[in-house]
Amino acid sequence: MVHHTVMRYLGLDVGSKTIGLAVGDADSAVATPLSTLERHGGARDIEAVRTAAAEAGADALVLGLPLTMEGSEGLMARRVRRFGDALAAALELPVHYADERFSTVAAERALLEADVSRARRKQVVDHVAATLILQTFLDAARAAAAARGQP
């Protein structure tokens, strides 16, 4: 186990078929894409996230919360919260949520602008979306710390 004093986060874009992963820390406040996990359901998904969190040295998880356009929580958001609760219990890590309403759309747009092929976009869009979710969380945390007069 690597010992570090800076809080490290594993960002997750939880979909019905895949889970995009990204990593970042509170010090650099930069999120980096990792990979995409295929979903298999229940305990297998939790174990896959446990492995990824351990490999990344994560101290906490940040899950994208798919709010409705009005900002309320619908069926998908409730599913993500249930998965987050299961992860928190199984991994004994804090779980945070970040609004992800536009993360996949923004990821697709960025990949299109970078002229990434359709096949490659399909492979990477979920962990690029996870990166955007985690970056949103890190930016908000940094802004809140600055507002409190902390570095």
Question: pLDDT tens for residues 12-21?
Answer: 999 889 999 9
| Range with lowest mean pLDDT among 57-71, 73-87, 107-121 | 107-121
Q: How far is CA 4 from CA 53, 58, 66, 77, in A?
A: 14, 10, 31, 32
CA neighbor of 23 nearest in space, from 98, 142, 135: 135
What are the pLDDT digits (tens) for 82-127?
A: 999 999 999 999 999 998 876 666 666 776 676 667 666 566 667 8
CB atoms within 10 A of CB 28: 10
Predicted TM-score of the model (pTM): 0.84
Which range in 30-39, 55-64, 104-113, 128-137 is most confidently predicted, on average pLDDT?
A: 55-64
**Cα 132 from Cα 99, distance rounded (Å):** 10
- Over residues 65-71, the mean pLDDT reads 85
- In angstroms, how far is the first alpha carbon of the chain from the final one? 27
The share of the chain scoring above pLDDT 70, in percent, equals 81
Sign of the torsion formed by the C-alpha atoms of 63, 69, 70 and 73: negative
pLDDT on residue 67: 83
Q: Residue 1: is its pLDDT beyond 60?
A: no
Q: What are the structural domains of the chain?
A: 8-147 (3.30.420.140)
**Cα 22 from Cα 50, distance rounded (Å):** 14
